[in-house]
Chain A
Amino acid sequence: MRVREKVIYEYSHPGRGASDQWPHDPGQAALSDLPATLRRTRAPELPEVGELETVRHFTRLSQLNFSIDTHFYPLGSCTMKYNPRACNQYAMLPELLARHPLAPESHGQGFLACMYELQEMLKAVSGMEGVALSPMAGAHGEFAGVAMIRAYHRARGDLARNEIIVPEAAHGTNPATATMCGCVVREIPVDAQGDVVLQALKAAVGPNTAGIMLTNPSTLGVFERHIVEVARIVHEAGGLLYYDGANLNAILGKVRPGDMGFDVIHMNLHKTFSTPHGGGGPGAGAVGVGARLLPFMPIPIVGKDGERYRWLAESDLPQSIGRLSAFMGNAGVLLRAYIYMRLLGREGMRRVGEYATLNANYLLKRLQAAGFDAAYPQRRASHEFIVTLRRQARELNVTAMDFAKRLLDYGFHAPTTYFPLLVPECLLIEPTETESKDVLDAFVTAMSQIQKEAEQEPGRVTSAPHTMPVRRLDDVRAARQLDLTWKPTAQP
């Protein structure tokens, strides 16, 4: 049954409140020294609600969400694997939560040890020479990476290099990052098998090439087989290679970006290293660099002198691109990644890539056997793969979005839809290594059921979802009649 949960302001009553949470009232005299012209004259309109009402409201809201803890969540390119509870519990020990970011190193050796060891472990699994932890999301890591590439060329007096090459299937963050770094984007095509067209790459590189941004395995769910050749072409042209670590889960413990020839990478710790996605963050986008970019890493970084850990600052790294956050990036996320890596250990790292790949290839084969079309049927899946529903859209008028919405009714979060843009009517499906065979089998059964519905009663699919708190939402209305904050009288 659809029950609307009120907006919290609708529970508000003047004078009500969770007063047990408030400090004692210091009285009006406490503010007497503040000039009247700088004072607030009307209290901010915040809800006035009791503690139980608040707890109940937000608990109810939580229950309107799909999540990894409640549902299979095969959102391609997002690596929605299990987030071990231990990572949360031990990152939230009281001493760790209470530590101020500017507390002296003498009061943070335990914390700094975790950060230092995390840097070392990330170096080992990525094959890079240095790691900096402060970028706060994948896109932030991309920014740091491209800024380092620019700084490298500038330091060599190579000032013309302002072009970043990206394959047409790249994540949107890649071209957006290039722009933020003041670069010009050049897109190159991929071939029918999903590999970069080398002729196009050769034609694109030149004296203006700053570098190339690649995801490998690519957003098409396949490994770039010409990677060694790509690296040679770009390096010979004087450019550097940037690795977008969005898909690192596919190859963790099996292949390292550093060995493929990449000069700089970011790793999405909220994907590969299982820190929570939190309904849209916080992420963490640690960057790794090869020898050439070591001097340019963003600060702060944790260094070790003998047995003491300490922050490296701009005085230690005078060529650093500088500071990206007020303090140390998403430190608590980094602690969770650290705990996860220690729980997995060396062998566990290998198993991530292996079982993520096993699950994806198994699910792909089962879906193909059930009659679905793979976008790249001649290729191995990496940790994810693309199914195209072009045929269903043409013959049955049932689209990838319809399948996605109907999957919700079957208790599965939808895969990524309509990305990459290169493949029409696509579902990008990433099961991750933490899902059991039973879950994958159940997903195949649901997809087959939906296919049957699409053939026999397509309206059931095109009008889905039917069991969610809301039906399909009017996005056009949302954008045309903007309602971005609650107002006492307004109705949508």
Chain B
Amino acid sequence: MAFIPHTEADVAQMLAAIGVKRIEDLFDEIPAQLRVKSLAGVPEELNEMEIGRLMSERARSDGVALSFLGAGAYEHHIPAAVWAITTRGEFYSSYTPYQAEASQGTLQLIYEFQTMIARLTGMEVSNASMYDGASAMAEAALMAVRANRKSKSARILVPTTVHPHYRRVAVVAASNQGLKFEELPYGAAEGSTPAAALAKYEGEDVTALVIQQPNFFGRLEDVDALTDWAHARGSLVIAVVNPTSLAVLKPPGEWGARGADIAVGEGQPLGVPLSSGGPYFGFMTTRMQHVRQMPGRLVGRTLDAAGHEGFTLTLQAREQHIRRARATSNICTNQGLLVTAATIYLSLMGPQGMARTAASAHARARELVAALMRVPGVRLAFAGAYFHEAVLQLDRPVAPVLKALAARGILGGLDLSAYYPELGAALLVCATETKSAADIERYRATLQDAMQAVRAA
């Protein structure tokens, strides 16, 4: 029996100890009419060799394309040690460290993670993770409403340069609690949020302003000016940041005169494989003054009965298992194993490795854009600096071009027409340190062919 070690003799002895004849008798409190009649929808079992073959065939059929997709999930080199250690049974098959004395490994690791993420974002305190970047932004909005006691409006300003999926998730997650999300338009020429977009909120009660850096288009926002505008008017600032970029870009803790109040983001670039969208992890950091409004687990260092240092879950009175209906969030299980991977990744990369990764991704993206601009009919949509992705505009429809590229094993980027129809035939492309000069040249040459094959609009 798969994963059940019982022999017939075991079962007989166990039933005798219980005082029943058959296992079936143990279900005698369940009304008979409720018993399952058929599980026809579940196929017969496979053994490990058979499932291995099936999965390998399916994986092979999906293949590995040369990908220039980004848009919130990024291909980076992952050191072999990261997942070799992360999948050790002691990390892989343990649970939330409720019994601190038997979970010091996980607890200390989370404490180290909290430290690294706080340093990377330039903030004072980090939690132990949220589900992903999008849900972390939604939780940050809810947290801002609790933390900004002077504001009564529960009104959150969100630039349209924030990832469209994140904006959608925020509305789904928070609108039942009365939060109102209002979108700020971007400047058509520069693809970032101009100060003028805020003018109409002058003198109004705004709970928080969200700023994504780099924004969804890869462009850099004027984070200092936006942050100072919000703080001058009693609004909090929620930063949504890419952790790789923080090795070279100003961390949220240093934005404007006072720094952002909450920083969140997608942790996937830190050693987590793309894996069709998950599991990833969201991170969340804030200032000490707001720590009690923070959702999720927190680990603290303390002393044991013998006076030695040790680690334990702390400030649990914020959480659902203690405070129930008045908890800061319903989150319980989060993304522990991905935090394990990220902590090992950040240790191996260190400040130098992170800086090189960020600079290298940026350099590759610039090379990519320069190469693709040489293809007739391709132009850069926005003027100004970008990090490791950029929006291109084509003089013909994007979808058939992408299809032609895909047929030749290249995923050319994300078609933006469904998200930003006003941009016309727009394509979001990304390159990181994983792309070589030859990869970029292959994309350029293939794009040139594909463009010729698709008739101009």
Contacts and interface: CB of A to CB of B under 8 A. Distances in A.
A22 B79 CA distance: 9
B398 interface: no
Contact of A97 (B40, B274, B326, B346): B274
A339 B52 CA distance: 9
A17 B266 CA distance: 25
Interface string A113-155: 1100000110111010000000011111011000100100000
Contact of B353 (A19, A39, A45, A463): A19
A206 B399 CA distance: 52
A346 B102 contact: no
A103 B48 CA distance: 29
Contact of A44 (B26, B29, B354): B354
A482 interface: yes
A49 B300 contact: no
B203 interface: no
Contacts of A176: 320, 323-325, 327, 329-330
Contacts of B273: 92, 97-98, 332
Given A137-B332, A346-B44, A44 B351 contact: yes
Given A342-B45, A405-B101, A361 B26 contact: yes
A489 interface: no
Q: Which of A62, A483, A491 has the most CB of B within 10 A?
A: A62
A462 to B, nearest CB: 11
A470 B28 CA distance: 45
A245 interface: no
B188 to A, nearest CB: 20
Interface string B102-136: 11111011011011101110101110110111110
B450 interface: no
Contact of B327 (A172, A414, A436, A491): A172
A308 interface: no
Q: Which of B26, B60, B111, B131 has the most CB of A within 10 A?
A: B131
B401 to A, nearest CB: 13
A74 to B, nearest CB: 12
Contact of B99 (A222, A333, A404): A404
Given A433-B3, A472-B101, A485-B118, A492 B93 contact: no
A83 B279 CA distance: 17
B396 interface: no
Interface in B1-36: 1-6, 10-11, 13-15, 17-19, 23, 26-31, 33-36
Interface in B198-234: 220, 223-224
A22 B353 contact: yes
A127 to B, nearest CB: 8
B17 A280 contact: no
B65 interface: yes
Nearest to B112: A8
A492 B301 contact: yes
Contacts of B152: none
Given A279-B340, A333-B279, A323 B29 contact: no
Contacts of B338: 278, 281-282
Given A139-B331, A182-B178, A473-B311, 18 more contacts: A9-B112, A31-B362, A40-B251, A44-B251, A47-B346, A61-B106, A64-B105, A64-B108, A124-B42, A178-B325, A180-B173, A281-B336, A332-B278, A346-B44, A349-B39, A354-B26, A408-B101, A485-B119
Instruction: List 4 A-B pairs, minimum CB-CB distance, nearest first.
Output: A345-B45, A124-B41, A69-B89, A327-B277
